[in-house]
Amino acid sequence: SVEAAPDRPLAGRHVLVTAGPTQEPIDPVRVIANRSSGKQGFAIAAAAAQAGARVTLVAGPVSLPTPGGVVRVDIETAEQMAAAVEAALPADVAIMVAAVADWKVDAAPAKLKKAAGPPQLRFSANPDILAMVGSHVERPQLLVGFAAETDELVAHAQSKRVAKGADWIVANDVSGDVMGAADNHVVLVTADGAEDWGPMPKTEVASALIGRIAGLLGKD
């Protein structure tokens, strides 16, 4: 195994990160999207690269520069994100920060015309990427999900952790105005319980999380 230098504790490790929103087309010119900025996921990818990891960042449409030393794969839809994530395996650690659209639309092949009146959109389920990785033959040694919640933060995060086969869920209190903001209030939910990290900048959430991961992987 690789002897990790103290300042590069993730040297020799592959860390896979998803970030940003996904976009689901309605027709060739319109999409359904969400308000994820990608800031938290990009900060985590940057912190992992700084810790010496090889980093694959699968990113939805965001307006952010690629962090130094990170291999970025741009996608639009949840299905494209699922395929890019699977193609990036194996990884030692996967951190699924993306705000994946839960549903896709039966997209029209041609532009919908206003004169036809408001469309009746038909939705169907998207793949759950975190759950897919959680049950994958190449499941990473450590699998981390994020969960944005407005209420029952820890209870919802704990049931997602179990249901999706993740090791940790970083539960994100979005009852305030967190989308696109620089700060985040997270609670780390593991099999051992919940740890409230309090409000802190997204860059500090990233370095704290990567520090915790480095500590864990450094033991083997």
Q: Which residues are annotated as a binding site?
A: 102, 111, 127-130, 146, 160, 164
For position 143 contacting ligand CTP by CB under 6 A, the verdict is: no
> Alpha-carbon distance 29 to 112, whole Å?
9
Which helix (H) or strand (E) segment is 89 a member of?
none
Both tokens of 200, joined, read: 């802190």
Distance of CA 68 to the CA centre of its chain: 19
What are the φ/ψ torsions at residue 144 (nearest 5 degrees)? -120, 130
Report the nearest approach of ligand CTP to the CB of residue 157 (Å). 8
Q: Per-residue contact track with ligand CTP, 168 to 187, x per CB under 6 A?
A: --------------------
Which position among 130, 178, 213, 214 is part of the footprint of ligand CTP (CB under 6 A)?
A: 130
> Alpha-carbon distance 136 to 129, whole Å?
10
For position 102 contacting Ca ion by CB under 5 A, the verdict is: yes
Q: How wide is the angle at C-alpha 166 spanned by C-alphas 69 and 219, nearest 5°?
A: 60
> Alpha-carbon distance 68 to 123, whole Å?
38
Q: Per-residue contact track with ligand CTP, 71 to 100, x per CB under 6 A?
A: -------x-----------------x-x-x
Report the nearest approach of ligand CTP to the CB of residue 131 (Å). 7
* Chosen from Ca ion, ligand CTP, none, partner binding at 126 (C-beta under 5 to 8 Å by type): ligand CTP
Q: Which residue has the tokens 């409230």?
A: 196
**Which one of the spans 34-42, 139-147, 177-185, 197-205 is the region binding ligand CTP (CB under 6 A)?**
139-147
> Alpha-carbon distance 168 to 193, whole Å?
10
Q: Give me the torsion for CA of 132, 133, 137, 138, rounded to 10°.
A: 150
Cβ-based nearer residue to ligand CTP, 9 or 96: 96
What's the helix, strand, coil split of the chain in %, to 5?
25, 30, 40
For position 103 contacting Ca ion by CB under 5 A, the verdict is: no
For position 196 contacting Ca ion by CB under 5 A, the verdict is: no
Give the residue numbers marked as catalytic.
34
Which position among 53, 67, 145, 168 is part of the footprint of ligand CTP (CB under 6 A)?
A: 145
Residues in the chain: 220
- Which residues here bind Ca ion, judged by CB under 5 A? 102
- Which residues here bind ligand CTP, judged by CB under 6 A? 18, 78, 96, 98, 100, 102, 126, 128-130, 145-148, 160
